[in-house]
Amino acid sequence: MHELSVVRGILGIIERERKARGFSRVRSVEVQCGHYSCITEESLRFCFEAAAVEPHLRGASLSLVRLPARFECPACEAEFDASKTEPERCPACGAPNPSPRIVSEILVRSLEVDR
Amino acid sequence: MKIRLMDRVLEANDAWARENRRFLAPRGAAMLNLIGSPGAGKTALLEKTIESLAGRLPVAVIEGDVATSRDAERIGRRGAPVVQINTGDGCHLGASAVHEALRELCATHAPRLVFVENVGNLICPAEFDLGEWGKIAVLSVAEGDDKVEKYPLLFSLSRALVITKLGMLPHTNFRMAEAERCFRRVNRNAPIIPLDSVTGDGFGPWIDFVERAAGTGRV
């Protein structure tokens, strides 16, 4: 829902890098978010296309990589990734009810640019 | 050419949040960021809280809404200094708007406790640090006990879970034990405070909590 604010942050980072490195064109932007971050790739792309109006951003693509959900076992403190369904037991010790580790952080991973 | 960055996208907001902490610290004031759905009872909670703290602790309020100053008018009638922020198209409050509101409030008042009533929303406000001492999740029994599991980010980040409209409990299928079980999966330490802002039931533990926040919340 707040993808436009996120896009403004992304554009700020691109502008800072452009001033520092002087590239002429951005080809692609790779964004990463924690599993529980409340942003979706589709609306992030929509907002990026609407807001990225400057010539050096024209045609640039954006991709979002969502990190897998991470769980922690309350008994043995083992940490593990879970892809889709919530695990009922710790894969290490078998104790029930592992807790999700809630991470939302949104990062710009990389830019693909032309000099 | 590929440039590897790993830069935080919300850094501009977080810089303002740090500025807000620097602004509040020398004033000995703590900020609490109330987050809940529209209609969860955030404004009613504040009205009763202001009444309960009258003469004990100077309180100020920052109201965030998409439109209108209805909430600010309600708070103003209770005698607390209040600034309304209208976010327009925004689904959350940002730290820079809160900074302006803090400056305005502190120009004429010396609050020890600043409540931010965020835009009614369980999703977006959770991702934006405002420089608060703590986020307070506000959930009414009418919304259902499944909301904790459905919106884990907010509940995992909260310093307290306030469950409102307790008097309505017999008329809903809200299960207190289920809400607690879901909350404890994502948040091991924050207290769960059920209360009713109309009758004042359960306000003792809440008032103790906010007074402790004002005492220890100088961040």
Please say if the pLDDT value at position B89 is more than 80.
Answer: no
User: Please, what are the domains in chain B?
Assistant: 11-216 (3.40.50.300)
* Cα–Cα distance, B71 to A23 (Å, whole number): 48
Residue numbers in A near B9 (CB within 8 A): 6, 9-10, 13, 31, 106-108
Q: What pTM was estimated for this model as a whole?
A: 0.90
Half-sphere exposure of B175 (CA within 13 A, CB side): 5
The per-residue pLDDT for B174 is: 98
Q: Using CB atoms within 10 A of its CB, is residue B8 exposed (0-12), middle (13-18) or buried (19+)?
A: middle
Q: Is the pLDDT score of B118 beyond 50?
A: yes
Its domain, for residue A26, covers 3-68+102-114
Question: pLDDT at position B217, please?
Answer: 57
- Residue among B172, B204, B160 nearest B48 (CA): B204
Number of domains into which chain A is organized: 1
Cβ neighbours of B94 in A, within 8 Å: 5
CA A74, B123, B133, B161 dihedral sign is negative
| A87 at B interface, C-beta within 8 A | no
Tell me if A38 is assigned to some domain. Answer: yes
Is residue A96 situated within a structural domain?
A: no
Q: How far apart, in whole angstroms, are the C-alpha atoms of residue B102 and residue B99?
A: 5
> What value of ipTM does the predicted structure carry?
0.84
If you average pLDDT over residues B167-185, what whole number do you get?
Answer: 96
- Confidence band of A2 (pLDDT split at 50, 70, 90): confident
- Do A9 and B12 make contact, defined as CB atoms within 8 angstroms? yes
Query: Burial of B162 by CB count in 10 Å (0-12 exposed, 13-18 middle, 19+ buried)?
Result: buried
**A11 within some domain:** yes
Q: Do B94 and A5 touch (CB under 8 A)?
A: yes
Q: Is A112 on the interface with B (CB under 8 A)?
A: yes
Residues of B with CB under 8 A from a CB of A: 1-13, 89-92, 94, 121, 123-124, 126-128, 152-153, 156-157, 185-186, 188
DSSP SS3 for B124: helix
